[in-house]
Amino acid sequence: MQACACRPATVRVCMCVHARACLQPVAKAHMDVRCRTAFPEDQSGGGDDAEKEEGKGGGGNPQEARLQRSPSPNRKHRALAMTEAVGAKPKRILVTGGTGLVGRAIQEVVANGEGQTDEEWVFVSSRDADLTSAVETKALFEKHKPTHVIHLAAMVGGLFKNIRCNLDFWRRNIHINDNVLHSAYECGVQKVVSCLSTCIFPDKTTYPIDETMIHNGPPHSSNFGYSYAKRMIDVQNRGYFEQHGCRFTAVIPTNVFGPHDNFNIEDGHVLPGLIHKVYLAKQNGSALTVWGTGKPRRQFIYSLDLARLFIWVLREYEEVEPIILSVGEEDEVSIREAAEAIVEAMDFRGELIFDTTKADGQFKKTASNAKLRHYLPNFQFTPFRQAVKETCTWFSTNYTSARK
């Protein structure tokens, strides 16, 4: 699944002009009608309601709207204030980290029918601006003048990279997040949706984890740099709301996987790393060695499902408080079960070995998706084994160009 050759570093997906056609080669067979049927209840009524709400907005000038609102820590007030701020003008949505796993999934879902005619999507990467630089970040925002932002850009990595580089994860992500949120504030962006992660929750906690528990205790020591940096996004979102009335919010996905992931065995996340290992073991006729005991448990979310949920959050979720985007607790699987799903998908027939000298990381971080289900009771997640199969097929097909 390759981008067409004419695609520049910045990918624009204007839903009404030739740029969309330009993106068509990026989209491929494994996206299907799920994109269009994800929100049946929303298509009939929710969208209209949202438009009516938008009509209430005063003038569409976000700076003006901010001044009219009286910030309050109360959730209902926050939601009301955010609704009032929405203008009726076309949206220009800037996606930072637009070339990564999640960014590419949003590109694909937008290009395959989820985009709307009043939206212009701009996907940027580190080639457009190094977001650790305040000057480059501000220039990026002044160039594109977004009305909305999906903020994905981050230093991201698996357990072993986190253990090695906690300081780098903290510093880079703190700089990126502060630069993006402050530039968004200065440029009058109407809404920002940033991305946290369930691995930032306290290590010692009760299960299931929910959105109210982010700051209740220290995160697991293996990834404290990444975790504290991500938690500060939530702190900043509250600050921007309470001081300036900004509609900055965040989502909390569980472990994401899918096409365009980082399949590096040392530095990537567990599932893409395992896919790469199975691919090599099959090629070499060797055993598959899984790092750790295989006992830790994870909730995995397919990047294309996450992309559809991100778009819903951008358009319709009105709270400043974050929302967990996850499959249900009943869909949590052990690392062993995940490895077995990959083995089956890739038809690997060799031996499976668990190297128990390697770290397991956090044993589990079971998250509740009750809040998500309250809003979207009928959202359909792609079954885990089907999503694994699609990802394995993508990796095998794109082996030479995949990040690894």
Ligand X SMILES: NC(=O)c1ccc[n+]([C@@H]2O[C@H](COP(=O)([O-])OP(=O)(O)OC[C@H]3O[C@@H](n4cnc5c(N)ncnc54)[C@H](OP(=O)(O)O)[C@@H]3O)[C@@H](O)[C@H]2O)c1
Q: Which residues are part of the catalytic machinery?
A: 226
Q: At what angle do helices 47-56 and 303-316 cross, to 10 degrees?
A: 40
86 makes contact with ligand X (CB under 6 A): no
Q: Which stretch binds ligand X (CB under 6 A): 62-70, 124-132, 288-296, 360-368?
A: 124-132
Question: Which residues from 154-183 bind ligand X, rule CB under 6 A?
Answer: 154-156, 176
Sites for ligand X among residues 300-319 (CB under 6 A): none
Stretch touching ligand X by CB under 6 A, among 19-27, 93-101, 214-222, 241-249: 93-101
Among 10, 107, 112, 132, binds ligand X (CB under 6 A): 132
Name the segment binding ligand X (CB under 6 A); options: 18-26, 85-93, 128-136, 383-391.
Answer: 128-136
Shortest CB 126 distance to ligand X, Å: 3
Least distance from ligand X to the Cβ atom of residue 128, Å:
7
Residue 210 dihedral angles phi and psi, to the nearest 5°: -130, 180
Identity of the residue, 99 or 236, whose beta carbon is nearer to ligand X in the bound complex: 99
Candidate list 153, 232, 281, 313; residue touching ligand X; CB under 6 A: 153
Residue closer to ligand X, measured from CB, 81 or 181: 181
Report the nearest approach of ligand X to the CB of residue 300 (Å).
8
Binding status of residue 126 toward ligand X by CB under 6 A: yes
135 touches ligand X (CB under 6 A): no
Residue closer to ligand X by CB (options 86, 201) is 201
Residues 25-54 that bind ligand X (CB under 6 A): none
- Cβ proximity to ligand X: between 12 and 269 the closer is 269
**Widest distance between CA atoms in the chain:** 67
Query: Of 16 and 359, which has the nearer Cβ to ligand X?
Result: 359
Is residue 131 a contact point for ligand X (CB under 6 A)? yes
Q: Is 103 in the site for ligand X (CB under 6 A)?
A: yes
Catalog residues that contact ligand X under the rule CB under 6 A.
97-103, 125-127, 130-132, 152-156, 176, 195, 197, 253, 255-256, 262, 269
